[in-house]
Amino acid sequence: MEKKFINIKELSTVVGLGLGTINKYIKEGAIPSYKVGKRRLFDKDEIVEWIKNHKEGK
């Protein structure tokens, strides 16, 4: 079974953004994420949609 949620380090690898940039997006509410205890998790399907919605020349 494939994981539905990934952590910030995995997200950084997948989308090619640095941790600082991702944290900035989190603080701005620009990227969909979930706070579970002290952990920040990202739904892979929501991240794919987020990327598609930020396509250049859209």
Its pTM stands at 0.86
Please, are residues 47 and 14 in contact by the beta-carbon 8 Å criterion?
yes
Residue 49's identity, in one-letter code, is: E
pLDDT in tens, 6-58: 999 999 999 999 999 999 999 999 999 999 999 999 999 999 999 999 877 65
Predicted pLDDT at 3? 82
- CA-to-CA distance for 44 and 47, rounded, in angstroms? 5
